[in-house]
Amino acid sequence: MDVGWVYTVQESMRAYAANVYTSVVAELVRGERRRFIAVEQEFFRLWWDQVASEQQKWQVRQLLAQGRLEFVLGGQVMHDEAVTQLDDQILQLTEGHGFLYETFGVRPRFSWQVDPFGASAATPTLFALAGFNAHLISRIDYDLKDAMQQAQGLQFVWRGSPSLSTQQQIFTHVMDQFSYCTPASLPFSNRSGFYWNGVAVFPEPPPDGVYPNMSEPVTPANIKLYAQVLVANVKQRAAWFRTPHVLWPWGCDKQFFNASVQFANMDPLLDHINSRAAELGVTAEYATLGDYFRALHALNVTWGTRDHHDFLPYASEQLQAWTGFYTSRSTLKVLARQVSALLYAGESMFTRYMWPAPRGTLDPAWALQQLQQLRWAVSEVQHHDAITGTESPKVNDMYVEHLAEGTLGVRKLMAAIVGDRAQHTAPGSDSGTRPEGLLASVYNPLAWTVTTIVTLTVGFPRVSVTDESGRLMPAQIQNSTKEPSAYDLLILVTIPGLSYRRYSVRPTTGTQAAATMASTIRFGRRLRRTNQGDKHLVPVANDCYTVLLDPNTNLLHSVQERQSNRTVRMAQEFLEYHANGDVRRGPISDNYLFAPNGTAEPSWEAVGLEIVAGKLVTEIRQHFYRDAKAQNYTYAVYSRLAHVSQGPGGELLCHRIEQEYRVGPLELNREAVLRTSSDLDSRQVLYSDNNGYQMQRRPYRHYKKNTLARNYYPMVQSAFLQDEKDGSRLVLLAERAHGVSSPGGGQVEVMLHRRLWNNLAWDLNYNLTLNDTSVVHPVLWLLLGSRAATTALRPRSALALQYRPVVLLSGELPADGAAARGPAPKPQAPQQQTAVTLPANLHLQILSVPGWNYSASHSEHVRALRTGQRGQAQADLRRVLLRLHHLYEAGEDPVLSQPVMVNLQTVLWGLGVMEAVEERSLTGTWDARTMRRWNWRTSPDPQAGLPTSRSRPPRGSRVTIHPKEIRTFFIHFRQQ
């Protein structure tokens, strides 16, 4: 049941989703042999909280205990796998699993990941860590699926991570060509097959219970015909699998909202088949997914293995490459990631507020409520018809609204924490004075010291910035790129891990110390057809790079990486693919599909250039005009180089070229790309990531048809080209998902924006056209250097982009006499909390107070559920959830790829004295010591991957994290 897509969550609840649970529970109670699996927790939680009676809740508990109702996957949603970030996938699983365990004491053991558009190799690792015994997928490339069917290779053991290898492998079942639905047609009837409750009706269910397209009821006259269709289909599928057990899914999207009709027709059909088993050669029984996998596991078959390669991209037919959704609704993609980053910051800030002891006036229950609301919203938008951009406009609006509401609450929470912790307040102002200046609190959510540039928009050109101690901060002011009448204030900040700093920003006059003013050099507009010349290149340099611009074209010419003294020729330009909007003229591009009419064409005729040079930052501003005489530009690139030393503090900041683009509004049926062409000898091989977790090698493949679209891949966090001779790399880091390709040697092309309309009945009926008239501002960071240098920098730089410091503007400062005469009086510095600092190869994936009210002891929790004691339980504010992630692959770096031992007591000593450390499963519901996953027999494989030591349980507070491991802990601190 899609959490969104065409209709909002509330519309779906009203029209059919609530009825699924109400009617299924009633029908399972009526027949002991009946079974049912349920997936998305968002709908189930809404039914449980708002619809279910006490009797229905009791029945659900009984059905779960008997194994006749089974939760599979168990996340808030069925998340997308191509464009979601790893931390967000874990969040939405954790939210769903936490609810299920808290409410029922059950823990999903199997995945049902049938509808995402392609499958990521990060998923088997995550699902193994969550305690799943088997994994089920469906949508993979049609050519590959056909080949796997013929070879009986749809079932295998998947070793998703090259570093973890056999440690986190999982048995995987790929649904055959009929996918996850019952066959839809009947040769003896013009109605849909096996869907007796028909099609859901919006906005309200029909009062007479008669739905459109209800299948012909099973009767003595037609039962033999129904049985023949079912048995024939089972036997067709059986030829594609190696065992006598065939998984036959009964249902499809938005089905079983009238389960009584379904079961009333299913029961006699199964009876008929089983009474003629000898004749038909088939027996049939209701089964949960767990029943099927248990039967399979008991056979003790030796299975083949699959390595760490993913199933992306997905093509459903020859001319239908599902690679457009990698970029669709770019604004929602970035909003989802920004709000997720805010939640990440809010979680650790609240945890630090609670430990070692809250000293302020904040109500922890209210705080937890704000965090919970945003956890739900961020989880919801990971759905495979949400962040993918494949939903209708009103559903997009719903996601945005939920994210905005949650954001407001968490920003209020963070501001309240800063206010509570502050040891001083700004002088009061009377109503007659005009506010002058503001106070900025900047929080670093990463567990490392971060040196970066924070940008504020201010209304005055002369300004001073001081920290809590009254010290003048390095700052630069320049004309804003977004607001013509405003200024961008750039502040160089260094903030320890999980800490914040406060800065006063005040206007100055006369000779007072102030932020330096950047100077601007303007170059005349250049036409695209101008011949390129190498003479008189204009350099822009910092300690790490020299960027060379060609004033004859106003374009990028080359970049010198100063450490290796290697100069790479590099050009960037905007192009557009033209899409067909008429289905009668051929394939169309839409929310899902990318089907261009031909190769990309330049989308500009002239380009203007400005260099805004300052002591702190130099910014290169290029404006691309669709028409040479146009007043307004359609595209822009703003490139920044920071003038900081490349020492330990400024290493990440120095080693990146920050680029922000302006794209749009586009003309109709255009798909806009940024193409970066270099002289790297990449042999047309691209590397792009799976969910920010691991990289995939993407050689350019040639197909009979649709080669261009089928060579697009998702870039969630990073992509790179590598010179095959000297190993030099050009790395791109992204703050939102994009489609990415390498259409030529040394080229990397990023799709930035799409605007599409077509006359496909499907798109028109469901309002799924992508007439996106917005202007988008994507950000990419470019890294250039040797393989060794970029390998070390890439994972940390990607996180620095994803989790940038959070800026809280906590009120404006009044214009007082002191401010007018000179620098602000030296305030009393607030008491700083001890920083949290992890080794360079570890990422603090979460530090949170989840507030779950279940006992960490499974037997105690189950006992409490049985005796009804859990109903009175309060949120546990004393349990801290900690998750650590090793960022590097085994063998990737001589130092950073080593296992690392961490003393958690030392790292977290600023939070108090630890009493206990418990290792848990990925989503927290299993004690890691008692979690036993099934072993599946495999043939010996010398290429199984690099060996990795199995991690041992923590000894006290000391834990060792191996390459690519993700380890989850409950931390208990001593109360003060």
Q: What are phi and psi of 968, to 5 degrees?
A: -115, 140
- Between strands 134-137 and 170-174, the pairing is parallel
Tell me the CA distances in angstroms from 925 to 9, 101, 892, 961, one per residue in order.
27, 7, 32, 20
Burial class (CB in 10 A: 0-12, 13-18, 19+), 894: exposed
Burial class (CB in 10 A: 0-12, 13-18, 19+), 589: buried
Q: Which amino acid type is present at position 636?
A: A
Q: How far is CA 230 from the centre of its chain?
A: 39
Query: Could you tell me if residue 449 is left (phi over 0), alpha (psi between -120 and 50 degrees) or otherwise beta?
Result: beta
Q: What are phi and psi of 522, to 5 degrees?
A: -110, 140
Rounded-to-5 percentages of helix, strand, coil across the chain: 25, 30, 45
Q: Which of 115, 176, 590, 772 is catalytic?
A: 115
Nearest Cα neighbor of 678 from 570, 581, 783, 760 is 570
Is 115 a known active-site residue?
yes
Query: Could you tell me if residue 397 is left (phi over 0), alpha (psi between -120 and 50 degrees) or otherwise beta?
Result: alpha
Length of the chain: 976
What residue has token string 């339980």?
A: 873
Report d(CA 264, CA 285) in Å as an integer: 15
Listing from the earlier edge strand, what are the strands of the sheet with 435-444?
A: 463-466, 499-507, 435-444, 806-814
The answer to whether 374 and 406 have CB atoms below 8 angstroms apart is yes
Report d(CA 352, CA 373) in Å as an integer: 20
Q: Which two tokens stand for residue 336?
A: 């989802």
**Helix, coil or strand: residue 696:** strand
Burial class (CB in 10 A: 0-12, 13-18, 19+), 833: middle
Nearest Cα neighbor of 806 from 445, 515, 505, 453 is 445
The answer to whether 516 and 605 have CB atoms below 8 angstroms apart is no
Nearest Cα neighbor of 885 from 968, 799, 793, 972 is 968
Asked, as a colleague might, if the bond just before 206 is cis with ω within 30 of 0, I would say: no
Tell me the CA distances in angstroms from 189 to 238, 265, 397, one per residue in order.
25, 16, 40
Q: Which two tokens stand for residue 731?
A: 């790395």
The answer to whether 175 and 152 have CB atoms below 8 angstroms apart is no
| Active site amino acids | 115
